[in-house]
Structure 1
Amino acid sequence: MRVLALPDGFDLTLGGRLILRHRAAAPCLFVGHGDARMDMVRGNFDIEDTLTARLPLPVATVAEDSIGWRITFAVAEGVAPLATLKIIGNQIVPTVADPSLNRFWLRILAEAGEHVWGGGEQMSYFDLKGRRFPLWTSEPGVGRDKSSEITFKADVMGKAGGDYWNTNYPQPTYLSSRKYALHFETTAYSAFDFRHPDYHELEAWAVPARIELFAADRFTGLVSQLSERFGRQPPLPEWVYSGAIIGLKDGDNSFARLEKIRAAGVPVSALWCEDWVGLRETSFGKRLFWDWRANEQHYPNLKAKIAVLKAEGIRFMGYVNPYLCNDGMLFEEAEAAGYFAKDAVGKTALVDFGEFDCGVIDFTNPAACAWFEEKVIGQNMLDFGLSGWMADFGEYLPIDVHLANGIDARLMHNAWPTLWAEVNARAVAKRGQTGEALFFMRAGFTGVQAHCPLLWAGDQSVDFSRHDGLVTVMSGALSSGLLGNAYHHSDIGGYTSLFGNVRTPELLMRWAEMAAFTPVMRTHEGNRPRDNLQLDENPQVLAHFARMVKLWVHLVPYLKSLVADAVATGLPVQRPLFLHFEEDAACYAVQDSYLYGPDLLVAPVWQAGTETRNLHLPQGAEWVHVWSGATFDGGADISIPAPLGEPAIFYRRDSSFAALFRGLTALV
């Protein structure tokens, strides 16, 4: 970065790109004070800020030294500076003179036609331009569309409806089509506002520790820089490549149902049973018993059955989260040792999770972390025979608890998913199973990339809805992938079934078609299994699913090359079209199709009752339609038949994997 001092301000450039333009009449920096109200209802937050001051800082004084630049800002000439920006290398380090100033706004230059992406895992909009995105980890919301009946009912029921910006995994980082990226290093509530044509306004409810900038000549280089900064995942375990992970939560009957699915020709890599810990009934549906150890009544002789499955080449996976129900045995042990977060009077803070209460393991307490890693994950899970699990939640840290490190919970809330990922990763490493045991998470924040080996898209509705259905999974994969999360997948068929909204056979089949072109295929029975269609209840659905898993297995040689690429460069398996075709401006806003590696283009059908797919073929390559063999020139917008079983898939004609791709036709 370089700073050019001007009579009435300055310009800051990054590799020749103008990033900050400060003039007395149009300042780039504001500071202020606010008092926030934050209310949480089961992971859903109602947040409101009362601003008592927002001060523009028009007077800027630039000084250069051997390290970089120091820019001081004041509200008027002759007044003591209120803020300072130190420019060192590719970092901006802000400070304020008055510690009561707890609001910070920075305006970054915007250009006409600019696109921006990132913000963590964004489910509704891949291109963030034109909207404001609060960045606070929370439940994503049901429906996520304030105009929909489902969202309205969810809001009335428990403030659970959500909006386009709600996400389990926010991150104050974005990439610009100007080929730079910016990261706010803060765990405070923040918001990135991309609505103004002339600037992006970045807001934080604390002064960021630093603002980091990255630049590259190509988007691939920029993504590699970000993945190196935030951390890269190990390769997927070899056992995953055997087939789908089948999610069943039917107690001991899960084993018999698995055999029925295998008999239908479905290649299987693992049986995933969330309910390995037992169940409890609630109005939401059957919920797990949050006491992290095998439930012998629900799963008799489970350890022996896990061993039998493993001998047949099938692993067993379970479930865990960072809370303990207060009617479980582990709660007593943790409370006696003082491992829980505390309330205002120093007692164990209890959180209502919907008709049962839990304690929050305090991950700022090293002893609590060590106990959870060894006792829960090490002994009760890995030593018992589990090869992986859903590491759920992480976004529920209440903002009124007291933690061992003494830091305000409002500043620890966003950091919590990353701490949770660290606990899981350390437990796996202590057993020497990094790259062998596979856990997956929905919650995230800055740095989760270094610890979580696999993301999942969270709790989509069991439908084709625009803001909470099948299509949102693609946006989530693309946005998070640009920030260094190489592997992403979803619950095939969705998860959330409320107010009479249930799966259709078409939804399950279309979701499976998309999942066949993701790093991991995994099914889920949903929150209300008995109300929703399951794989083994419909012969047509099961046969279709078997074909899709066979497609996935057929592509394993290609997938392994993408995994190796992710390890070496940090590039995600699922990629936006522009990542390899940046000269084609029509690719920049596409979020309902993606590249599976550099050579396959995937355009899933995501609307009900549709058997054709309109899509854009990127300019700069010739594209072969897998099922017909027809060749198309890039740069075209086309409509292609996409009946069930033949999703719109194209490969680059000159790909070294062309023969493998042609072999897909023999499997449908």
Structure 2
Amino acid sequence: MKRKFIWLLGICAGLAGCAVMMNGIQNIMVPDFFHPPELKIEGPAIELSLIPKPLQVALKSGDARLEQIDKNVIKLTSQSGHLRIPLEKDELIYGLTMRLVADRERSESQIEEIGSLNRRGEIVYQWEIPSFAAYIPFYVSSRGYALWVSGWDPGVWDVGATNPDILELGFYPGKDGFTCYFISGDSYVEIMDRFTKLSGRPILPPKWVYSPWKWRDVHKKGSTKFEGVEINAELAEDLMMYEKLGLPKGVYLIDRPWAEGNFGYGNFNWDKTRFPNPEQMIDILHKHGWRVMVWGGPWALGYHKWEFGYEARKKGYLIGNRNIDYTNPEAYEWHKSKIVEFMKSSGIDAWKLDRADEYNPSGKNDIYWNGESGFQLHNKYPYLYIKAFYEASRSVRGDDFVIMARPAQNLTTTMSINWGGDTPGAILKNGKFVGTDLGVRAVIIELQRMAFLGFPTWGSDTGGYQGFRDRDVFARWLELSCFCPLMEIGGVGPHEPWAMPTKPKYDEEMIKIYYRYTWLHERLVDYTYALAQRASETGDPIVHPLVFDWPHDPKVADMWDEYLYGPSLLVAPVWKTGQREREVYLPKGKWQDLWDPNKKYEGPTTIKVSVPLDKIAVFIRLEKADLLPKGLIEGL
């Protein structure tokens, strides 16, 4: 009977609005984490007028204090989080979230052809929901200023949706009140420099992060001998095929389930039925040139004495039935000690930090150890979670580690890099998964959104988290990911060109495409790393939306289907299945086709180019060509 009761609790914990009560733990309502609560713009309005250059902010009505930090930064504090800021006729607003639009279904689970760089006309919620989980309360205006709200309070942005002439925001300030900063600059690069100086510079990960990655959503049970050692058979297959095909090695990610117990994450002991001889397995991966990353979460799971959940529950370290209450210093240090112990004993190099955008109790009556409500802490919880893993990892490995997180909030860019969540290569229709190319389209936009938000090192699940059903989608995603800071390849189902879910299974053409673009990405490592160093010092992102460099060219103001990869390469991806030709706009300057040095162009101009399945349209900006490595495409 006891086992049945525990099982029912586990099922209940996955349902929205379900109460959990056990061993005296408070009655916690598991949130409907796929939708934000009813957030409204309310409270006394603060009416402002604003001139970007030189920066001037004036209080027209309402109760607020304005403080000039320097000539380019003005701080506003108030007990009200309700601001009204005028919008000019042709003003564009960039940033706020990675998610295409606020509606999760239209932007993710049933993804549509919507969204662009410009957020004007939208209502955007400052409330973390899975899995496109980057929510930074920061926007950049085409007028030459930005607004950053510090802290993690919930809120809502009405970007001219209700009144086309007004940008209105409503935040729910905690006990410390509401604080925001107005930031001006003569360029987007200047604005990002001043913003990240205030909010925290992006972390500089090790150079090996920028080599190609390989992973599987689940490594099935089953083993084989590799170099005389019994290891997981699918992992051995990846090692063998990368050697056989001469592919570049970077990071090998082992996702959940990998550990013993509940959900394959009950403790930090390897599940030896799935990963036999784990210490030797890690040694083999390292010997073959891979760095090793494993899945982590903010949970202490399980009810057996050998599972973390048992110990955490007994000591009162949980909020709800699974989430660690990081506001409790003892719980925080307890979890850190577990991470440190595992990193020392296992020899892993990195963590993939999932979740923290779901399950954490987030109601106004969900009270955490420090006395704050789940409502007030909802957006801060990912920061606390990432911070625990960051501090633990740093204590073991110094600077030679990386944390790749799904959620992104204020200050997390100082500790982690990010990936785009469960971007789909297939979506569920009438109970069956069908392929989609809209995940590729979403990634093109999200990559540039993250540039505006101060997150320079970003990537996506190449081929789709829910894996592709059309080989066009895999090919185009590989090409796109080649020109992303992170090239991580994997997800649910086959993502290997030698074991395709499409015909032919052993796909010679796809193997050549895979080879070409993983090696091209590898050859760009020094170039990309130099840009990452710059980003860590100035906030200047690796990827530039074209408007960064040509702010006065109206054609690029909301152009999302082209971007600069560093200063030297203009990338124009293809996302539509079956497309073999596209138009490319080349802004002012001199350009050369990456694949054919005889094709040179003078911009501004629009050209039509052929894009067979194995080619992505890329153009070298000749005035910056000297920054590129020599022989970039030689032999590819």
2:225 aligns to what? none
- Provide the rounded CA distance (Å) in 1 between the counterparts of 2:410 and 2:35: 20
Q: What's the TM-score, normalizing by structure 2?
A: 0.80
Give the alignment partner of residue 126 of structure 1, picking from 104, 117, 125.
Answer: 117
Q: Secondary structure at the match of 1:47?
A: coil
Q: Gaps spanning 5+ residues in structure 1: where? A: 1-37, 61-67, 75-82, 97-102, 141-166, 282-286, 342-348, 351-358
Structure of greater relative contact order (alpha carbons < 8 Å, 6+ residues apart): 2
Give the alignment partner of residue 585 of structure 1, picking from 539, 551, 554.
Answer: 554
1:372 aligned onto 2:327: no
- Provide the rounded CA distance (Å) in 2 between the counterparts of 1:391 and 1:447: 16
- After superposition, residues 139-218 of structure 1 pair within 5 angstroms as 139-140=130-131, 167-195=132-160, 196-206=163-173, 208-218=177-187
Q: Secondary structure at the match of 2:406?
A: coil
- Provide the rounded CA distance (Å) in 2 between the counterparts of 1:541 and 1:432: 37
1:437 aligned onto 2:415: no
Q: Secondary structure at the match of 1:506?
A: helix
- Provide the rounded CA distance (Å) in 2 between the counterparts of 1:227 and 1:600: 25
1:516 aligns to what? 482
- Provide the rounded CA distance (Å) in 2 between the counterparts of 1:364 and 1:437: 25
Give the alignment partner of residue 35 of structure 2, picking from 31, 41, 45.
Answer: 45
1:221-265 deviations in Å (ceiling 9; x for gaps): 111112222222333323335543344632511332111133112
Q: Gaps spanning 5+ residues in structure 2: where? A: 1-27, 49-55, 101-114, 222-231, 428-434
How far did 1:463 drift? Answer: 4.7
One-letter amino acid of the counterpart of residue 512, structure 1: L
Aligned CA-pair RMSD: 3.1
One-letter amino acid of the counterpart of residue 253, structure 2: W
Structure 1, 534-543 or 404-413: larger mean CA deviation: 534-543
1:332 aligned onto 2:334: no
1:594-628 deviations in Å (ceiling 9; x for gaps): 11011111111111110112232122x11111112
1:146 aligns to what? none
Confirm or deny: 8 A CA contact 2:40 2:170 kept in the other structure: no
Pair 1:468–1:416, CA change in 2 (3 A): farther
Aligned residues: 553
- Provide the rounded CA distance (Å) in 2 between the counterparts of 1:486 and 1:571: 8
2:634 aligns to what? 666
One-letter amino acid of the counterpart of residue 254, structure 2: C
2:418 aligns to what? 455
- After superposition, residues 256-405 of structure 1 pair within 5 angstroms as 256-258=236-238, 259-275=240-256, 277-278=258-259, 288-327=264-303, 329-341=307-319, 349-350=320-321, 359-375=322-338, 377-396=339-358, 397-400=360-363, 401-405=366-370
Pair 1:508–1:392, CA change in 2 (3 A): same
- Identity over aligned residues, as a percent? 23
Pair 1:49–1:422, CA change in 2 (3 A): closer
1:628 aligned onto 2:593: no
How far did 1:301 drift? Answer: 0.6
How far did 1:525 drift? Answer: 2.8
1:5 aligns to what? none
1:525 aligns to what? 491
Confirm or deny: 8 A CA contact 1:219 1:579 kept in the other structure: yes
Confirm or deny: 8 A CA contact 1:116 1:174 kept in the other structure: yes
- After superposition, residues 419-430 of structure 1 pair within 5 angstroms as 419-430=384-395
1:351-373 deviations in Å (ceiling 9; x for gaps): xxxxxxxx110111122111111
- Provide the rounded CA distance (Å) in 1 between the counterparts of 2:210 and 2:152: 36
One-letter amino acid of the counterpart of residue 395, structure 2: K
One-letter amino acid of the counterpart of residue 127, structure 1: N
One-letter amino acid of the counterpart of residue 449, structure 1: T
- Provide the rounded CA distance (Å) in 2 between the counterparts of 1:364 and 1:417: 12
Pair 1:104–1:171, CA change in 2 (3 A): same
Confirm or deny: 8 A CA contact 1:244 1:549 kept in the other structure: no
Pair 1:290–1:468, CA change in 2 (3 A): farther
2:626 aligns to what? 657
One-letter amino acid of the counterpart of residue 121, structure 1: M
One-letter amino acid of the counterpart of residue 45, structure 1: H
